[in-house]
A = this chain, B = another copy of it.
Amino acid sequence: MPDHAAPSIRATRDVADAQRGSAPDTASLRLMANAIRALSMDAIEHAASGHPGLPLGMADVAAVLYGRFIKADSQQPHWPDRDRFVLSAGHGSMLLYALLHLMGHQDMSIADLKAFRQLGARAAGHPEYGHATGIETTTGPLGQGLATAIGMAMAERMQAAHYGDALVDHRTWVLASDGDLMEGVSQEAITLAGRLGLGRLIVLFDDNDISIDGNIGLVDATDQIARFDASAWHTQRVDGHDHEAVAHAIEAALADPRPSLIACRTVIGLGAPTKQGTPAAHSSPLGTKEVEGVRAHFGWTAAPFEIPADARAAWDAAATRARAARTAWQARLDAAAPETKAAFLAAVSNDRPAGLDAAIATAKQRFLANPKNMAVRKASEAVLEALVPAIPEIVTGSADLTSANFTKIPGFEPISADDFSGRYVYWGIREHAMAAAMNGMVLHGGMIPASGTFLAFSDYCRPALRLAALMGVGSIHVMTHDSIGLGEDGPTHQPVEHLAALRAIPNLLLLRPADGIEAAECWQIAIEERRRPSVMALCRQEVPPVRLDETTENRSARGAYELAAAQGKAQATIFATGSEVHIALAGRDLLRAAGIEARVVSIPSFELFAEQSREYQDSVIGDAPAKVAVEAAIRQGWDAIIGRHGGFVGMHGFGASGKPADLYNHFGITPEAVRDAVRQQLSAHA
């Protein structure tokens, strides 16, 4: 892809530096912090539910960050070059809602705060992406925000490498808790950020030494500073209630080329007479008496949900400062070369990529021109080779299985700390951070990330897949080695329940193509789906092509379709997915030889099929007396199609280590088994 960098244009960093001159003084910061505290307590008491400890403890840090540093425009909250702020400790949601209200976000009014935690509220229990502007990602499951933020910071550097610092030059800020840092995914995220030298990532750690069960020392002896140092971060520790100290630490973090951790020593629930510094402040409303104590401690006398004029003025000034850089950015965008501007705006639009259909057609033509047995993971690689030149937003990668996933096509260069212009990510053995960071890339905008790992290891990244589905994020997860067909590595590596377990996640597409043509169609679906994640389950072993029809229609898009019709009236319908479709076809041939007519239905996606009209579904399922499903996985979910008494040729437990062909025979997933299952069905009906 062309390099759109325009280095002659002054970097926004200078602009941001300049703005800091007009930053609020300590007195203003104190007012600002107390406004956060008051609103947080008021909303939590009003809701009789919520987590006051974090907003009370981190209000000072938040005031400094928003008062002096953050670059964002509440009037244009989707401004592409805004800083991203991620409240990884999502239980402290009132801190974020208070910030958004005070910064002037129109969709976070006092009325919204009064609805905190009630059904339908924008101010949900945890921050929910899409509920209000300024909520950059959904958080709550610990560690996810931090790992998601890594992806945002990666996206920023990758876009800057392509479009230039003039258009892309922002920071990613994370507020993280002890809990965030204790979850394993945090280590994956931290080490990845360290290796990539994500200097524009700054983590503000709420170092309050308290978790629900007690003091952190009860469960952890880790020196977090030393831990981050070990992975090439810049680290500092400050008094999180000392505004100037926090500000100086942030200045130092900005000046250092490494990702930064600022451990902010704070008191959870600061000001609460008996609860501060204890787990009691964490996750329950403080109660009237403690709230009064906090108010007294900070000299806050305004009525609940009221912000005094001086505090409001300080926040208004902060909002004005924060948005100042946008004007200059807009000028730079307008001054940019037209092709740079157009390419940038197209990338961040999140629209359907223009070149998609032609690329898919090309891929299909290639398969049809040279039909041969091939692993569907290899077919996927061939589709990517057609797609990638047409869609510059695609970024692929693998969690240390590059040579097995086939997601790195010729010419793809990896990104590194020194060069972010590549389009491939060596994620390392970090499935969880990979999936979470991909969420961050999509949320950042302008990227279509596609990962690689084994399907069995979808378990390792499942919390991030779920968040992708919940947020409606169109990440694409290439998961190869999708059944016992992977062979000798055995049951730990052989998915049997994973197809069902992924189909169970609402708003996630599980795509399991049977050959090259279906792989092309599934890639088309996945690229089009910018509002839900896709998992592509691809077989390791070679399978024959099952589709040789020349069509630009995406037959997989309806989820299921009749692949092979019966001659005359069908006595049986055989349903199959992926690498078992050819077994279904061979079973049909055996049945025909035995005088039994069967049709074959391919089901690349249960979810898409479930979205079709009842009439279409009924027509595909059909009314043949025998219904048999073939899938090298467990039965769960298939009863919806074949019924409780339908025939199932598949797995009934875990796999085993052995040659793929031996395993298919051993577990009875063969054309003969299909034939016998149909016969059994027919005799049961006779």
**Interface residues, chain A, with chain B CB atoms under 8 Å away:** 47, 49-50, 90-91, 117-121, 124-126, 128, 138-143, 178-179, 182-188, 191-192, 194-195, 211-214, 218-224, 226-227, 229-232, 398, 400-404, 414, 426-433, 456-457, 459-460, 462-463, 466-467, 469-470, 487-493, 496-497, 500-501, 503-507, 634-637, 639-641, 643-644, 651-654, 656-659, 662-663, 666
Cβ contacts under 8 Å, A656 to chain B: 119-120, 124
Least distance between A55 CB and chain B CB atoms (Å): 16
Neighbour of A50 across the interface among B117, B488, B635, CB < 8 A: B488
The 10 residue pairs across chains A and B that have the minimum distance between CB atoms? A184-B184, A119-B658, A219-B428, A187-B187, A140-B492, A226-B230, A124-B657, A125-B657, A497-B504, A125-B490
CB closest residue in chain B, given A663: B119
Partner of A506, one of B433, B462, B634: B634
A659 to B116, CA, bound (A): 11
Interface pair B492/A120, CB less than 8 Å apart: no
From B47, B194, B221, contact of A221 by CB (8 A):
B194
**Contact in complex: A121, B188 (CB < 8 Å):** no
Q: Is the CB of B182 within 8 A of A184?
A: no
CA distance A505 to B500 in the complex (A): 9
Give A218's nearest chain B residue, CB to CB.
B426
- Partner of A141 from B120, B179, B460 at Cβ < 8 Å: B460
Query: CA–CA, A430 to B213, complex, Å?
Result: 13
Select the residue from A212, A221, A224, A404 with max chain B CB neighbours within 10 A: A221
Can you report 28 residue pairs joining A to B where beta carbons are below 8 Å apart? Answer: A50-B488, A118-B658, A118-B659, A124-B490, A125-B657, A126-B657, A143-B184, A179-B429, A183-B429, A184-B187, A184-B430, A191-B222, A194-B221, A211-B429, A212-B402, A213-B401, A219-B427, A222-B231, A224-B230, A227-B227, A227-B231, A497-B504, A497-B505, A500-B500, A500-B504, A501-B504, A637-B639, A639-B640
Which residues of the partner chain B approach A184 to less than 8 Å between Cβ atoms? 143, 183-188, 430, 432-433
Chain B residues positioned under 8 Å from A212 (CB to CB)? 400-404
Question: Which listed residue, B400, B490, B644, touches A211 by the CB 8 Å rule?
Answer: B400
- Which residue of B is nearest A621, CB measured? B644
Q: A514 to B426: give the CA distance in the assembly, Å.
A: 47
Of B140, B226, B398, B490, the residue contacting A226 (CB under 8 A) is: B226
Given the complex of chains A and B, what is the CA–CA distance between A223 and B227 in angstroms? Answer: 9
Question: How many identical chains are in the complex?
Answer: 2
Whole-angstrom distance between the alpha carbons of A683 and B394 in the complex? 51
- Distance of A484 from chain B, by nearest CB (Å): 10
CB distance from A431 to the nearest CB of B (A): 8
B636 x A644 contact (CB < 8 A): no
Query: Closest Cβ of chain B: how far from A477's Cβ, in Å?
Result: 15
- In the complex, the answer to whether B506 meets A125 with C-beta atoms within 8 Å is no
Which residue, A140, A504, A639, A653, has most C-beta atoms of chain B within 10 A? Answer: A504
Residues in B whose Cβ lies below 8 Å from that of A187: 184, 186-187
A648→B353 CA distance, assembly (Å): 39
CB within 8 Å for A500 and B230 given contacts A126-B493, A400-B212: no
Q: In the assembly, what is the distance between CA of A500 and CA of B505, in Å?
A: 9
Kindly list chain B residues whose C-beta atoms are within 8 Å of the C-beta of A433.
184
Task: Answer whether A398 and B213 are a contact pair too, CB < 8 Å, given A119-B663, A222-B231.
Answer: yes
Give the chain B neighbours of A666 by CB distance below 8 A.
119
The answer to whether B220 touches A191, judged by C-beta atoms less than 8 angstroms apart, is: yes
Known: A428-B219, A654-B507. A141 touches B457 (CB 8 A): yes
Selected from B459, B504, B635, B663, the residue in CB contact (under 8 A) with A462 is B459
Chain B residues within 8 Å of A662, by CB: 118-119
Does B504 lie within 8 Å of A492, measured CB to CB? Answer: no
- The answer to whether B90 touches A492, judged by C-beta atoms less than 8 angstroms apart, is yes
Please, how many angstroms separate the alpha-carbon atoms of A54 and B494 in the complex?
22
User: Which residues of B have CB within 8 Å of A140?
Assistant: 489-490, 492-493
Residue in B120, B492, B659 whose CB lies within 8 Å of A658 = B120
Residues of chain B lying within 8 A (CB to CB) of residue A492? 90, 126, 128, 138-141, 467, 470
Q: Most chain-B Cβ atoms within 10 A of its Cβ — which of A124, A488, A644, A663? A: A488
Q: Is the CB of A49 within 8 A of B429?
A: no
Chain B nearest CB: distance from A425 CB in Å? Answer: 9
Q: A182-B428, A492-B138 are in contact. Are A640 and B634 (CB under 8 A)?
A: no
Nearest Cβ on chain B to A378's Cβ, whole angstroms: 17
